[in-house]
Amino acid sequence: MQTRKFNDHCNQLHDESVNNRRRFLKAGISACALLALPLAVPLAHANILQPAERKLAFLNLHTGERIQSVYWAENQYIPEALQAIRNVLRDHRTGDLHTMDTELFNLLHLLQSKMNSNQEFHVISAYRSPKTNAMLAGRSGGVAKQSLHTQGKAIDIRLPGHKLSDLRAAALALKTGGVGYYPKSDFIHMDTGSTRFWGG
Protein backbone atom coordinates (compact mmCIF):
# COMPACT_ATOMS: atom_id res chain seq x y z
CA MET A 1 0.00 0.00 0.00
CA GLN A 2 2.79 2.38 0.90
CA THR A 3 4.62 1.46 -2.32
CA ARG A 4 1.51 2.32 -4.35
CA LYS A 5 1.17 5.68 -2.62
CA PHE A 6 4.83 6.37 -3.25
CA ASN A 7 4.45 5.56 -6.96
CA ASP A 8 1.35 7.74 -7.24
CA HIS A 9 3.24 10.57 -5.58
CA CYS A 10 6.15 10.17 -8.03
CA ASN A 11 3.78 10.16 -11.00
CA GLN A 12 2.14 13.34 -9.71
CA LEU A 13 5.52 15.05 -9.36
CA HIS A 14 6.44 13.96 -12.91
CA ASP A 15 3.19 15.34 -14.32
CA GLU A 16 3.73 18.65 -12.52
CA SER A 17 7.29 18.80 -13.84
CA VAL A 18 6.13 18.24 -17.42
CA ASN A 19 3.43 20.89 -17.07
CA ASN A 20 5.93 23.34 -15.58
CA ARG A 21 8.30 22.78 -18.50
CA ARG A 22 5.47 23.36 -20.96
CA ARG A 23 4.47 26.59 -19.21
CA PHE A 24 8.12 27.70 -19.20
CA LEU A 25 8.52 27.03 -22.93
CA LYS A 26 5.31 28.89 -23.75
CA ALA A 27 6.40 31.85 -21.64
CA GLY A 28 9.81 31.82 -23.33
CA ILE A 29 8.26 31.82 -26.81
CA SER A 30 5.95 34.70 -25.84
CA ALA A 31 8.85 36.66 -24.40
CA CYS A 32 10.85 36.20 -27.62
CA ALA A 33 7.91 37.42 -29.65
CA LEU A 34 7.61 40.51 -27.45
CA LEU A 35 11.32 41.22 -27.71
CA ALA A 36 11.05 41.11 -31.49
CA LEU A 37 8.25 43.70 -31.61
CA PRO A 38 10.30 46.86 -31.01
CA LEU A 39 12.50 45.96 -33.98
CA ALA A 40 9.66 44.90 -36.24
CA VAL A 41 7.39 47.90 -35.69
CA PRO A 42 9.80 50.65 -36.87
CA LEU A 43 10.78 48.57 -39.89
CA ALA A 44 7.16 48.08 -40.79
CA HIS A 45 6.50 51.81 -40.61
CA ALA A 46 9.73 52.94 -42.25
CA ASN A 47 8.09 53.54 -45.63
CA ILE A 48 5.19 55.38 -44.01
CA LEU A 49 7.48 57.79 -42.16
CA GLN A 50 9.77 58.30 -45.15
CA PRO A 51 8.59 61.29 -47.23
CA ALA A 52 7.50 60.43 -50.75
CA GLU A 53 9.70 63.22 -52.10
CA ARG A 54 12.31 65.72 -50.98
CA LYS A 55 12.34 69.27 -52.25
CA LEU A 56 14.32 72.41 -51.55
CA ALA A 57 14.14 76.06 -52.53
CA PHE A 58 17.08 78.47 -52.78
CA LEU A 59 17.61 82.15 -53.45
CA ASN A 60 21.15 83.11 -54.42
CA LEU A 61 21.58 86.51 -52.79
CA HIS A 62 24.41 87.48 -55.17
CA THR A 63 22.74 86.69 -58.49
CA GLY A 64 19.07 86.99 -57.54
CA GLU A 65 18.43 83.55 -59.05
CA ARG A 66 16.04 81.25 -57.28
CA ILE A 67 14.90 77.70 -57.65
CA GLN A 68 12.37 75.39 -56.05
CA SER A 69 12.75 71.78 -57.04
CA VAL A 70 12.01 68.19 -56.03
CA TYR A 71 15.47 66.63 -56.06
CA TRP A 72 14.55 63.15 -54.78
CA ALA A 73 11.47 61.04 -55.52
CA GLU A 74 10.55 57.37 -55.94
CA ASN A 75 13.65 56.36 -53.95
CA GLN A 76 16.12 58.07 -56.25
CA TYR A 77 17.77 61.39 -56.97
CA ILE A 78 16.61 63.35 -60.00
CA PRO A 79 19.64 64.30 -62.15
CA GLU A 80 17.91 67.23 -63.89
CA ALA A 81 16.93 68.76 -60.54
CA LEU A 82 20.42 68.33 -59.11
CA GLN A 83 21.85 70.02 -62.20
CA ALA A 84 19.45 72.96 -61.90
CA ILE A 85 20.24 73.42 -58.20
CA ARG A 86 23.97 73.15 -58.93
CA ASN A 87 23.64 76.02 -61.40
CA VAL A 88 22.05 78.33 -58.81
CA LEU A 89 24.67 77.38 -56.22
CA ARG A 90 27.63 78.00 -58.53
CA ASP A 91 30.56 80.30 -57.73
CA HIS A 92 29.01 83.68 -58.55
CA ARG A 93 32.42 85.33 -58.90
CA THR A 94 33.82 83.01 -61.58
CA GLY A 95 30.72 81.24 -62.86
CA ASP A 96 32.37 77.86 -62.15
CA LEU A 97 30.10 74.89 -61.52
CA HIS A 98 30.71 71.89 -59.32
CA THR A 99 28.75 68.79 -58.31
CA MET A 100 27.09 69.41 -54.96
CA ASP A 101 27.04 66.69 -52.30
CA THR A 102 23.53 65.22 -52.15
CA GLU A 103 24.02 64.57 -48.42
CA LEU A 104 24.23 68.33 -47.99
CA PHE A 105 20.81 68.65 -49.59
CA ASN A 106 19.48 65.93 -47.28
CA LEU A 107 20.83 67.82 -44.26
CA LEU A 108 19.10 70.99 -45.45
CA HIS A 109 15.88 69.06 -46.00
CA LEU A 110 16.04 67.72 -42.43
CA LEU A 111 16.86 71.17 -41.12
CA GLN A 112 13.85 72.67 -42.87
CA SER A 113 11.63 69.95 -41.40
CA LYS A 114 12.95 70.68 -37.91
CA MET A 115 12.21 74.36 -38.41
CA ASN A 116 8.73 73.48 -39.69
CA SER A 117 9.31 75.84 -42.59
CA ASN A 118 8.69 75.88 -46.32
CA GLN A 119 10.64 79.09 -46.90
CA GLU A 120 13.49 79.17 -49.39
CA PHE A 121 17.03 79.19 -48.06
CA HIS A 122 18.91 82.43 -48.68
CA VAL A 123 22.36 81.45 -49.92
CA ILE A 124 25.37 83.57 -49.03
CA SER A 125 27.92 81.08 -50.34
CA ALA A 126 27.76 77.55 -51.71
CA TYR A 127 30.34 76.28 -54.19
CA ARG A 128 33.61 78.22 -54.31
CA SER A 129 36.26 77.65 -56.93
CA PRO A 130 39.83 77.19 -55.62
CA LYS A 131 40.63 80.62 -57.07
CA THR A 132 37.81 82.33 -55.18
CA ASN A 133 38.58 80.47 -51.97
CA ALA A 134 42.27 81.45 -52.14
CA MET A 135 41.27 85.07 -52.64
CA LEU A 136 38.89 85.00 -49.65
CA ALA A 137 41.42 83.15 -47.47
CA GLY A 138 43.95 85.86 -48.26
CA ARG A 139 41.54 88.50 -47.02
CA SER A 140 40.34 86.74 -43.89
CA GLY A 141 41.75 84.26 -41.42
CA GLY A 142 38.23 82.89 -40.98
CA VAL A 143 38.28 81.19 -44.40
CA ALA A 144 39.85 77.72 -44.46
CA LYS A 145 42.44 77.17 -47.17
CA GLN A 146 41.05 73.65 -47.71
CA SER A 147 37.43 74.71 -47.40
CA LEU A 148 34.70 72.16 -48.04
CA HIS A 149 33.03 74.87 -50.15
CA THR A 150 35.58 73.98 -52.86
CA GLN A 151 34.29 70.39 -52.85
CA GLY A 152 30.59 71.25 -53.05
CA LYS A 153 30.12 69.98 -49.49
CA ALA A 154 29.34 73.24 -47.69
CA ILE A 155 26.86 76.08 -47.77
CA ASP A 156 26.28 79.35 -45.87
CA ILE A 157 22.61 80.14 -45.35
CA ARG A 158 19.89 81.94 -43.47
CA LEU A 159 16.18 81.12 -43.37
CA PRO A 160 13.71 84.03 -43.59
CA GLY A 161 11.22 84.28 -40.74
CA HIS A 162 13.42 82.37 -38.31
CA LYS A 163 15.97 83.55 -35.76
CA LEU A 164 19.52 82.65 -36.65
CA SER A 165 20.04 81.23 -33.14
CA ASP A 166 17.06 78.89 -33.67
CA LEU A 167 18.42 77.82 -37.04
CA ARG A 168 21.78 77.05 -35.45
CA ALA A 169 20.14 75.07 -32.62
CA ALA A 170 18.20 72.98 -35.14
CA ALA A 171 21.34 72.36 -37.19
CA LEU A 172 23.26 71.26 -34.09
CA ALA A 173 20.40 68.93 -33.15
CA LEU A 174 21.02 66.97 -36.35
CA LYS A 175 24.36 65.91 -34.78
CA THR A 176 26.11 65.46 -38.10
CA GLY A 177 28.49 67.53 -40.21
CA GLY A 178 29.93 70.94 -39.40
CA VAL A 179 27.90 73.87 -38.10
CA GLY A 180 29.39 77.36 -37.97
CA TYR A 181 27.62 80.32 -36.38
CA TYR A 182 28.17 83.85 -37.74
CA PRO A 183 25.62 86.16 -36.06
CA LYS A 184 27.40 89.37 -37.14
CA SER A 185 27.09 88.35 -40.79
CA ASP A 186 23.65 86.76 -40.19
CA PHE A 187 24.26 83.24 -41.49
CA ILE A 188 25.15 79.73 -40.42
CA HIS A 189 27.55 77.42 -42.20
CA MET A 190 26.68 73.76 -42.78
CA ASP A 191 28.82 71.05 -44.30
CA THR A 192 29.04 67.27 -44.61
CA GLY A 193 32.46 66.95 -43.01
CA SER A 194 33.15 65.55 -39.55
CA THR A 195 30.73 66.44 -36.77
CA ARG A 196 31.89 69.70 -35.15
CA PHE A 197 30.74 73.25 -34.43
CA TRP A 198 32.20 76.70 -33.90
CA GLY A 199 31.23 80.33 -33.48
CA GLY A 200 29.12 81.95 -30.85
What is the per-residue pLDDT across 41-64, written as a single tens digit (0 to 9) for each? 332 333 335 679 999 999 999 999
pLDDT at 186 over 60: yes
Instruction: Write the CB contacts of 81 (distance below 8 Å, at least 6 apart in sequence).
Output: 69, 70, 71
Higher pLDDT, 23 or 79: 79
Give the residue from 80, 70, 89 showing the smallest Cα distance to 128. Answer: 89
Q: How far does Cα 172 stand from its chain's mean position?
A: 11
Report the top-level CATH class of 53-198. alpha beta
Q: Is the pLDDT of residue 40 over 80?
A: no
Q: d(Cα 138, Cα 28) in Å, to the nearest integer?
A: 69
Q: What percent of the chain has pLDDT over 70?
A: 74
In this predicted model, what pLDDT tens digit does every residue of 64-110 receive, in sequence order? Answer: 999 999 999 999 999 999 999 999 999 999 999 999 999 999 999 99
pTM of the model: 0.74
What confidence score (pLDDT) does residue 12 get? Answer: 55
H helices of 50-115, in order, are 79-88, 102-114
- When the pLDDT of each residue in the chain is averaged and rounded to a whole number, the result is 82
pLDDT reading at 5 higher than 90: no
In the predicted model, what is the mean pLDDT of residues 14-32? 45
Q: Between 139 and 148, where is the model more confident?
A: 148
Q: Would you call 104 exposed, middle or buried from its count of C-beta atoms within 10 A (0-12, 13-18, 19+)?
A: buried
Write down the pLDDT at residue 143.
84
Please give the pLDDT value at position 35: 34
